[in-house]
Amino acid sequence: ILQEFVEDVKEEVAFEDDADGGVFPEIHAAVSAAGAEQSGLCVASNAEQGVWGVGLAHGHDGRMRAAKLALGLAMCQNQGKLEEFAQKYPEFGRMCASAGLVEMPAKRRKKGGW
pLDDT at residue 109, as a whole number? 57
pLDDT at residue 104, as a whole number? 73
pLDDT surpasses 80 at 88: yes
- Please, what is the Cα angle at 81 between 77 and 87, to 5 degrees? 120
Please tell me the least confidently modeled range out of 27-31, 39-43, 75-79, 108-112: 108-112
- pLDDT tier, 110 (very low <50, low <70, confident <90, very high otherwise): low
pLDDT at residue 22, as a whole number? 92
SS3 111: coil
pTM of the full structure = 0.85
H helix runs in the chain, sequence order: 9-12, 25-33, 60-78, 82-88, 90-98
pLDDT at residue 38, as a whole number? 84
Burial 75-114 (b: 16+ CB within 10 A, else e): bbeeeeebeebbeebeebbeebeeeeebeeeeeeeeeeee
